Structure 1
Amino acid sequence: MSLNDTERAVLLRAGDAELTLRPDQGGRISSLRVRGDELLRQGERYGSFVMAPWCGRLGYGRFRNGGRMVQVPTDPGPHALHGTVRRRPWRTVTATTASAVLDHALTGPWPYAGTVTQEAELAESGGSLTLRLGVETAGDSFPAQAGWHPWFLRRLTPGGEGVRVDFAADWQEERGPDHLPTGRRIDPLPGPWDDCFGMNDGVRVTLTWPGRLELTVTARTTWCVIYDEQEEAVCVEPQSGPPNGLVTHPRLVTPLEPLEITTTWAWRPLS
């Protein structure tokens, strides 16, 4: 990293783990190294970014809040993707050796004032990472979602064996030709996936890099998107609602009730 990049980055360390946060790149985790192995795909689009105030695809960029129809800009293609905060600068609120808090004030094109806060904390042992997200309003109530979009490397070493993704889902959200959930819940299908799964007892997905590392993603939420259609990386995305959830499963953020979600990534070496 250049000197300017170092000044913008927030580096956390515990045990054999090192984590880098980039407030200047949407508050994303740009690097997670365990025992020297980089776990996340590198680049400004990758790492692990926050999805808020919606997750995944928002159909045609439209949702209703009470009697108001809201339109936000769409990405290439017909839908709006992954919220507004991943491409905006964040602020470092606090940072210690092993934990940090970042926040971002919601601005246009999102029409409601509020704040998104992310806390990252490495366990003292260096064996896990806990991430917490909060979405608060600064005035009017609005529907919102929050979650994470990590890009885990498929291989930790050149020529290494590819990662295995294991999970047990209670259902899969059927995906229509427009890539939005149809509202039907179907039995989980074999991959490859770009799909949302429902897990009634909370998200639990294990990634295994044979002979090197096992990492388990858990979250006290029902929905998780699994994406494994790229050669370089796989994504395991715990989120507070399904794609297009501002329309189909609206969760209202009010002055008395913020939206909060937590995920933990725990790992253990296999060698």
Structure 2
Amino acid sequence: MSNLTRLTAGDAELIINPGHGGRIESLRIAGTEVLKQGERYGSFPMVPWCGRTAYGRFRDGAVTHELPVNAAPHAIHGTVRDRAWTVARVSATEAVLTCELDDPWPYKGRVTQVLELAEDRLTLKFGVEAYDDSFPAQAGWHPWFTRNLGRGGEDVRIGFAPEWQEERGDDHMPTGRRIAPLPGPWDDCFGMPGGVDVTLTWPGELELKVTSRAEWVVVYDEPEDAVCVEPQSGPPNGLNTHPRLVTPIDPLEVESVWAWRRP
């Protein structure tokens, strides 16, 4: 347990593993775990891109870069989830972690992650900085919420009202068309131009609302035992289709809040 960082506020407990991709290993509310447990699960950061980058390639001006294809035929979920993070500051309710961007990402930079725990919410922040050369980037979160809290209650219900859905092609990439939201199950990206606002309800047990000023969210509810609600600063393949340039004087900053209440 010495390599883990633990935050507490009231009856909420958060466990972070800096050495395992800066991942949230556990979020317990009144003793109940809300994240799926396991090496691949919890909640991990997606930086410097979110979701899939088509065929592991992106263009920056006239230059085409190749990324490791780790979800063939695409590159998925960035690089920092596979790196050790450094704890820059920690208190009973806040942790600040940093991670360097370098190979296999073709640019030098740094990611800062801030986690602030309160009795009824978790505030998450990313800052992505460029050291020298500017580069396109994205940032987001990939939490695996448990489908059932394991106390004999009902499975979770997902409530949200997106303005559009990014049409998904046979290669799992957005086609570039925006369509009316389709019924689930989903492994899809949705547009919420007023900001991400998704409510997870375990009837009679817990309500957890995921919000962000970011305008995109991926909802993945195909697994039998988990659902993912992923606020992110751009859509899948956004390094190519919706690049947000990070410069030495203009970092990318993204924030998300998970707020909960019990009936």
TM-score range, shorter chain: over 0.9
1:250 corresponds in structure 2 to 243
Residue type of the partner of 1:89? Answer: A
Tell me the distance in 1 between the aligned counterparts of 2:223 and 2:125: 27
**TM alignment of 1:42-191, pairs within 5 A:** 42-123=37-118, 126-157=119-150, 159-191=152-184
Aligned-pair distance for 1:200? 1.3
1:160 Cα deviation after fit: 2.9
Cα distance in 2 for residues equivalent to 1:159 and 1:12: 28
* CA-CA distance at 1:63 after TM superposition: 0.5
Equivalent-residue separation in structure 2 for 1:7 and 1:94 (angstroms): 16
SS in 2 for 1:226: strand
Alignment match, 1:267: 260
Contact 2:231 2:256 in 1 (8 A): yes
- In the TM superposition, residue 158 of structure 1 has moved relative to its aligned partner by 5.3
User: Per the alignment, in what secondary structure is the counterpart of residue 263 of structure 1?
Assistant: strand
Deviations 1:214-260 (A, max 9, x none): 00000001100000000110000000000000000000000111000
In structure 2, what is the Cα distance between the partners aligned to 1:100 and 1:156? 26
AA partner of residue 126 (structure 2): L
Gaps of 5+ in 2: none
- Alignment-derived partner of residue 220 in structure 2: 227
Paired amino acid for 1:84 = T
Task: Give the drift of 1:165.
Answer: 0.4
Name the Cα RMSD after superposition: 0.7
User: Percentage identity across aligned positions?
Assistant: 64
* 1:60 aligned counterpart, secondary structure: helix
Determine the C-alpha separation between the residues in 2 that align with 1:164 and 1:10: 30
Q: Name the aligned partner's letter for residue 176 of structure 1.
A: G
Cα deviation digits, residues 143-174 of structure 1 (max 9, x gap):
00000000000000154310000000000000
The 2-side partners of 1:266 and 1:8 are apart by 27
> 1:196 aligned to 180, 189, 192, which one?
189
SS in 2 for 1:246: helix
Q: Between Structure 1 and Structure 2, how many residues are aligned? A: 263
Q: Which amino acid aligns with 1:79?
A: H
How far does residue 109 in structure 1 lie from its aligned partner after superposition?
0.6
User: Unaligned 5+ residue runs, structure 1?
Assistant: 1-5
Contact 2:153 2:205 in 1 (8 A): no
Q: Under a length normalisation based on structure 2, what TM-score does the superposition of the two structures give?
A: 0.99
Aligned partners of 2:71, 2:202: CA distance in 1, in Å? 34
User: Match of 1:29?
Assistant: 24
Query: Is structure 2 residue 5 aligned with structure 1 residue 10?
Result: yes
CA distance in 1, matches of 2:208, 2:77: 24
Runs of 4+ aligned residues of structure 1 deviating over 6 Å after TM superposition are none
- The amino acid across from 1:12 in the alignment is L
Residue 3 of structure 1 is matched in structure 2 by none
Task: Tell me, in whole angstroms, the C-alpha distance in 2 between the residues paired with 1:154 and 1:109.
Answer: 34
Alignment partners' CA distance in 1, 2:242 and 2:14: 33
Look up the match of 1:217. Answer: 210
